[in-house]
Every structure is written in structure tokens, then in C-alpha cells.
Amino acid sequence: MPRTLSRRNAGKYTGLSLLGAAASGWLPGIAAQAAQSESKTHRNCILLWMSGGPSQIETFDPKEGHENGGPTKAIDTSVPGVQISENLPQTARVMDRLAVIRSMSTKEGDHSRATYFMHTGYLPQGPIRYPTVGSFLSKELLDEECDLPAFVSVNPFQAFSPAAYGPGFLGPARSPLVVASQMTGQAEDTQQVSFEVSNLKRSKRVTRAQADARLKLLSSLEHDFLKLRPGGPGRSHVQSYQQAIRMMESGAVDAFNLDGEDDMLRDAYGRNPFGQGCLLARRLVETGVSFVEVNLSSADGAGGGAGWDTHQDNFGAVNALCGVLDPAYATLISDLQQRGLLDETLVVWMGEFGRTPKINDNTGRDHWPRSWSTVLAGAGIKMGQTYGSTSDDGTEVTNDPMTVQNLMATVCRALDLDHEMTNYSNVGRPVPLADHGSAPVQLLLS
């Protein structure tokens, strides 16, 4: 039986239907996935991306009592001896399911380069177009029985580095399905967040018979074209339309309709684009989608802007952003666990870098790649711990530094993938999933 929502909870999701139109811009790049070996796992990944670079001191590495810590207090968590920022009280209660890495360290303090680095595991250089993490991981984690694309991106903010969000040398067949949120309802107190992929519904002016005839003609033309011009671009085009048709005709698109979810659960996630995006991510991995990225870059939870770039009023801005992050993140972890999905779903929380420990003259924090935090949870991760540490003033990693390459290798191993597995680039060079010389961090792995 196909791995869909109805497989796990047929009664709960019966009768759901797709909502109205939303911006996507993805349909021409939609992809049928290549055949995979029988040894592939059904593990999947959710990336919670904090665009702009979140402050580690106001989130997962507080420095209460030092002048660099500012007014932010530390609070206890569900793991004895481990404290995080007071901005994350609900997250503190699920700390036993998290692994906080406090020793991230890079040399990239520019938004564009750092975003590319963290999304691909490689620095932008030379002619190679490296694929984003969602593209290269979903290629290996593909669930062929799922009628939805393997990679879905919710409200991405691509202004810093558009190339960081693309499939690179893997080609358009590995592009993400981009989903934007929209607000429905006229009055403020009746507005609801909804998601939908545009262009999935047949035009009312086109009958089913007419649509079938057009698709038959298209298939014939593509067949003749590929006979004369075989190759990757032509096959990718055919795959794109085959996947689009498959998705249009599948009930799996009901995953984008949140109306059937319990109101209390929707409230717990937060009635904003990020909170509902996290709920959507849970529904998508439940359906069989391999990789979902959800972006948080503004205090209202929408995808626009780079709210974590707190050069001014860092404390007020981070508090507002955490007011959106905290309930959504904690509820996602708990919801996945309660549904038996956390053991097969890796949840990654990160941005492109951290913020300066020293507070600037505008009560802000500037770009800081030397010592900052990321968080892992779920599949393959030894949870309820911190890894690495920073100095009392937050300026240096004092224990177990973590590189981007080793983080990528650890993510791969947690997903039961060989980090040395290679793809061939657009210039014919073998490129491993995690850069040469990287190694998974065993202390983070279960």
C-alpha cells in the first residue's frame, strides 16, 4: 500500500481537499525521482532554517553573569545541568530529545557565502554548482511510493544566496517544490494560514477529455524528441511533467490542507506561517516526503526578510522571533515523537552563522562565525546532550569544535547514508555528500 497519510491514519484524513492558489513557481521543475536501490531507508529530514544568523547567546548558549550575555537569563531544561535561554521555555522542556552543538566554527561571516556553505557543505568556488542539502539528501532518501516530490521548501528566503537553494549539478529533477503560505479570511480574528501548490487544478475551461488528449499529444511529441535527442535535459523535462501529472491525480496532495488537524494542535504550533509550516512538515514526512525545509525569518513567522540579522535591538528582536520559534519547535518534536515519527525523522535547526558575543552600540549583535550553535534531534541522534562548549565570554570554542563538513557527515550518518557517497558534478568531478576528509561525530550518534 502506498506510504501516504491514509496508510497511517485513514479515518482522520478522509475527505481532505486541497485549498486555493498560492505562489510556487516550481511546477516546470517538478521531478519524477530516479530508481533507487532496495537498501534505501525511509528516514527523512526536516530543516528549520533561521535566515539571518540567530544569536547563540539568546537561544542555546546563554552567558548569564557575563557582560556579553546582556539581560538574557538562562533557564533549566529537562536535562539536569543543561541550561538554555529564557526565550525558549517550551523548547527547554523537550531538551531530552535534542542534541545542542555549541561549538560550530567557520570563517564565513558573509550572508551569501555562509548561507551557501551551510546549505551545500561546500564553499562557492570554481565552476561546480553544488546542490542544496535538500536536493542531495532527498535523492538518496527517496520513497518511491510517495506521490509528492521528495523535497519541499516552505517559505524560503533566497535573497542572500539563490544558488544555495537550487539543485546544482543534480539538475532540475532534484529541485524543491516551493510552497508559500497565505492568509485566508477577511477579519483579523478569522484569518487562517493555508498552504497550497499552484497550478495543480485543471482549468475550468478544460474538460477532463481535453486534458487527457493534450497529455497524450505531449507524450507523443516528447517520445519523438527523445528518440532524436537523447540525453539528460530531455529526460529531466519528461520526468518533471510525469511527476506533475502524478501529483495532480493523487490524493497525497491533501497533505497540504491543514483543516483536518485538531484546533488545539494547530494552536500549539502557533497560528502563523512558521508554526503552521512546521505542522505541514510533519504531515509531509508522514506522507513520505523525504526532506522538508521550513524557513523562519521574520517575527510574524512569514518567510520574508532576515529577522535574525539583529544588528540593532538584538534582545527585543530575538525575543519576538523566539515567540514564534519556541512553540512551533517544541510542538514539532513532541508531535513527531507521539506519532512514532521521531525515530525516523532527523530535525535540524540552524542558520548561516551566529552573532557577536560583544554587544554593539545599537544594542545589537553583528555577524559571528567563530563560535555558535546548531541543534539536531530525532533519527540517529543521541539526544539529551550538549556537544562542544564556548568560553565564558562566548568568543572562542573551548571544546570539540564542529566544522560544517563534519556536521554534514554527521547528518548523513544519522540518516543511514554514507557521507562518502559521490555524485558527478557538471564538470565531471566526483563530489561526495560531505566534503573530502570529513567524518561523522560519533558522540552525537545513537
pLDDT at 12: 38
Compute the average pLDDT of residues 55-75: 98
Taking only Cα atoms into account, the Rg of the chain, rounded to an integer number of angstroms, comes to 22
pLDDT at 6: 40
Q: What is the pLDDT of residues 317-373, one digit of tens each?
A: 999 999 999 999 999 999 999 999 999 999 999 999 999 999 999 999 999 999 999
- pLDDT over 70 (residue 406): yes
Confidence of residue 20 (pLDDT cuts 50, 70, 90): very low
The CATH classification number of 5-203+241-444 equals 3.40.720.10
Compute the average pLDDT of residues 199-213: 62
Closest CA to 280 of 195, 347, 157, 180: 195
pLDDT at 42: 82
- pLDDT over 70 (residue 85): yes
Compute the average pLDDT of residues 14-41: 37
In the numeric block, which cell numbers belong to residue 314?
538584538
- pLDDT over 90 (residue 38): no
- pLDDT over 80 (residue 203): no
pLDDT at 263: 95
Q: Which of 92-96, 137-141, 154-158, 247-251 has the lowest mean pLDDT?
A: 247-251
pLDDT at 145: 87
Compute the average pLDDT of residues 134-140: 97
Compute the average pLDDT of residues 46-50: 98
pLDDT at 125: 86
In the numeric block, which cell numbers belong to residue 302?
512569514
Highest mean pLDDT among 30-34, 130-134, 226-230: 130-134
Which neighbouring-strand residues pair with 389?
399
List all residues 6 or more positions away from 165 whose beta carbon is below 8 Å from its beta carbon: 119, 132, 153, 156, 158, 176
Confidence of residue 200 (pLDDT cuts 50, 70, 90): low
Confidence of residue 30 (pLDDT cuts 50, 70, 90): very low
pLDDT at 194: 86
pTM comes to 0.84
Confidence of residue 67 (pLDDT cuts 50, 70, 90): very high
Which neighbouring-strand residues pair with 445?
381
Query: Which has more pLDDT, 244 or 13?
Result: 244
> For residues 316 and 352, what is the distance between their CA atoms, to the nearest angstrom?
21
Max Cα–Cα distance, the chain, nearest Å: 72
Packing angle, helices 273-287 and 314-338, rounded to 10: 30
- pLDDT over 50 (residue 35): no
**Whose grid coordinates read 516546470?**
28
**Whose grid coordinates read 518567510?**
303
- pLDDT over 70 (residue 239): no
> For residues 334 and 199, what is the distance between their CA atoms, to the nearest angstrom?
34
> For residues 294 and 48, what is the distance between their CA atoms, to the nearest angstrom?
5
pLDDT at 242: 57
Q: What is the pLDDT of residues 271-320, one digit of tens each?
A: 999 999 999 999 999 999 999 999 999 998 777 778 999 999 999 999 99
SS (H, E, C) the chain: CCCCHHHHHHHHHCCCCCCCCCCCCCHHHCCCCCCCCCCCCCCEEEEEEECCCCCCCCCCCCCCCCHHHCCCCEEECCCCCCEEECCCHHHHHCHHHEEEEEEECCCCCCHHHHHHHHHHCCCCCCCCCCCCHHHHHHHHHCCCCCCCCCEEEECCCCCCCHHHHCCHHHCHHHCCEEECEEEECCCHHHCEEEECCCCCCCCCCCCHHHHHHHHHHHHHHHHHHHHHCCCHHHHHHHHHHHHHHHHHCCHHHHHHCCCCCCHHHHHHHCCCHHHHHHHHHHHHHHHCCCEEEEEECCCCCCCCCCCCCCCCCHHHHHHHHHHHHHHHHHHHHHHHHHCCCHHHEEEEEECCCEECCCCCCCCCCCEECCCEEEEEEECCECCCEEECEECCCCCCEEECCECHHHHHHHHHHHCCCCCCCEEECCCCCEEECCCCCCCCCHHHEC
Confidence of residue 57 (pLDDT cuts 50, 70, 90): very high
Measured CA angle at 379 (ends 375, 385), to 5 deg: 40
C-beta of residue 246 within 8 angstroms of C-beta of residue 32: yes
Compute the average pLDDT of residues 91-112: 98
pLDDT at 21: 31
Confidence of residue 245 (pLDDT cuts 50, 70, 90): low
pLDDT at 195: 85
- pLDDT over 90 (residue 123): yes
- pLDDT over 60 (residue 425): yes
> For residues 62 and 209, what is the distance between their CA atoms, to the nearest angstrom?
63
Closest CA to 350 of 330, 389, 329, 376: 376
